[in-house]
Amino acid sequence: MKVVWRDIKAARNSYAVLYAACRQAGYTLISSDHPKGEVTCYSVNSINEPHYRSEIRDAEGITIVGGPHASASPLEVAEYADYVIIGEGEKTLPRLLDAIMTGSTAPVPGVATKDGITQPDHTVLLDAYPCFLEIKGFLEISRGCPHACAYCQTPRIFGHRMRHRSIDAIAASAARVSDARFVTPNALAYGSDGRTPRLDRVERLFQRLAENRIWFGTFPSEVRPEWISDEALELIRCYTAGRKIHFGAQSGSDTILSRINRGHTRGDALNALDLCRSHGFTPIVDIIVGFPGETGEDLEMTMDLVRSIIRYGKVHVHYFMPLPGTPLAKAEPTPLPQDIERLFGSLALSGRLTGYWIEPRRRFLNLSGDNEVI
């Protein structure tokens, strides 16, 4: 049975992960820029999903769709896909391929169809699967998040309890690459419960990967601002190659931070900025604008934080997008004033700001305002 993986830029690390899991089960996922073969697999998020909807609906073979959007809205996706994988795919995708190949009609746990949903019956043990094999990707060291930020899909898909891959398992995958780059909701939380640091375990990880060039605390292994400390930064400086720290402040307004259940304050972000500067790191800070209910005062406090960041760092700005499966899924973004849009444009031209501050689908799909996505 020929199984194709639809090549989508935003899902290339998912391809590495699921290629490895399927290889263990006897299947090879063949990358392709269009659907072909007996089965085509997709991983979509809420930004790019509309772009692939008609392609999936019209594909000649069997279609399997997973990813954040599919996990959050499985019955919606099942209207045009044959099968939808809910949540983690390492065990579920090979199970489903087995069922397709044998012609079994028994429901597969973790799979939805137009006839309904069969809930997952497991949580993935990370050590049961390599980070990647021949198809290289990032080293996923942790999964899940104990925080419950109202805009974020991560804890809703992967759970509120952190799971960590063992150092031995990480090292086995790291031996395949020269540079070690990690995937984790909070890099400094490795080996911990996600609320109390265990920097001794982070250091043991660094020591074990001494043959690698280590990149830590930058995309896609960002950290939380309240976890940044003198001890943590000295550890990163001692063992890793990077001199940038990427963290999410999200808003400069404590009112907004409390409302979205972010779990830290404006003061934590300012303290993290000072610590980065004092240890010689460039801070790269995520900011979200347009939160529902964001007032002019809230926005001004965020802009004041932006001005603090760009004195010796960079801002990565996002315009709020309601994501399915989150508490803010049906919330409306607050429009951004034109003078702020112009300021962001100016900061981007000067190299002090990256990201987007317009409607996300238009930016990422290169759609004009007149295009209708169907």
User: In angstroms, rounded to a whole number, what is the distance separating the alpha carbons of residues 106 and 128?
Assistant: 25
User: In angstroms, rounded to a whole number, what is the distance separating the alpha carbons of residues 312 and 293?
Assistant: 30
* Mean pLDDT to the nearest integer, 122-144: 97
| Alpha-carbon distances, residue 161 vs 61, 142, 158, 164, 258 (angstroms) | 37, 10, 8, 10, 21
pLDDT in tens, 308-338: 999 999 999 999 999 999 999 999 999 999 9
pLDDT of residue 358: 80
* Mean pLDDT to the nearest integer, 250-274: 98
Percent of the chain with pLDDT over 70: 96
User: In angstroms, rounded to a whole number, what is the distance separating the alpha carbons of residues 48 and 182?
Assistant: 24
pLDDT in tens, 168-209: 999 999 999 999 999 999 999 999 999 999 999 999 999 999
Average pLDDT of the chain to the nearest whole number: 94
User: ∠ at Cα 257 (222, 235), nearest 5°?
Assistant: 30
pLDDT of residue 228: 98
Q: Are 51 and 365 in contact (CB under 8 A)?
A: yes
* Mean pLDDT to the nearest integer, 94-108: 96
Picking from 202, 151, 140, 186, the residue whose alpha carbon sits closest to that of residue 16 is 140
Query: What crossing angle do the helices spanning 199-208 and 230-239 adopt, rounded to 10°?
Result: 0
Q: Is the pLDDT of residue 373 over 60?
A: no
pTM above 0.85?
yes
Which domains are assigned to the chain? 3-118 (3.40.50), 138-242 (3.30.750.210), 244-374 (3.30.750.200)
pLDDT of residue 368: 39
pLDDT in tens, 205-257: 999 999 999 999 999 999 999 999 999 999 999 999 999 999 999 999 999 99
Q: Is the pLDDT of residue 365 over 90?
A: no
Secondary structure string (H, E, C) spanning the chain? CCEEEECCHHHHHHHHHHHHHHHHCCCCEEEECCCCCCEEEEECCCCCHHHHHHHHHHCCCEEEEECHHHHHCHHHHCCCCCEEECCCCCCHHHHHHHHHHHCCCCCCCCEEECCEEECCCCCCCHHHCCCCCCCCCCEECEECCCCCCCCCCHHHHHCCCCEECCHHHHHHHHCCCCEEEEECCCHHHCCCCCCCCCHHHHHHHHHHCCCCEEECCCCCCCECHHHCCHHHHHHHHHHCCCCEEEEEEECCCHHHHHHCCCCCCHHHHHHHHHHHHHCCCEEEEEEEECCCCCCHHHHHHHHHHHHHHCCCCEEEEEECCCCCCCCCCCCCCCCCCHHHHHHHHHHHHCCCEEECCCCHHHHHHCCCCCCCCC
Instruction: For the beta carbon of residue 162, count every other beta carbon within 10 angstroms.
Output: 22
Q: Are 306 and 315 in contact (CB under 8 A)?
A: yes
User: In angstroms, rounded to a whole number, what is the distance separating the alpha carbons of residues 111 and 100?
Assistant: 12
Instruction: For the beta carbon of residue 109, count every other beta carbon within 10 angstroms.
Output: 14
pLDDT of residue 360: 58
pLDDT of residue 203: 98
Picking from 323, 237, 250, 231, the residue whose alpha carbon sits closest to that of residue 281 is 237
pLDDT of residue 359: 66
pLDDT in tens, 29-66: 999 999 988 999 999 999 999 999 999 999 999 999 99
As to burial, measured by CB atoms within 10 angstroms (0-12 exposed, 13-18 middle, 19+ buried), residue 178 is: exposed
CB neighbours of 350 closer than 8 A, spacing ≥ 6? none
Percent of the chain with pLDDT over 90: 94
Q: Is the pLDDT of residue 367 over 60?
A: no
pLDDT of residue 310: 97
pLDDT of residue 27: 97
pLDDT band of residue 371 (cuts 50, 70, 90) is very low
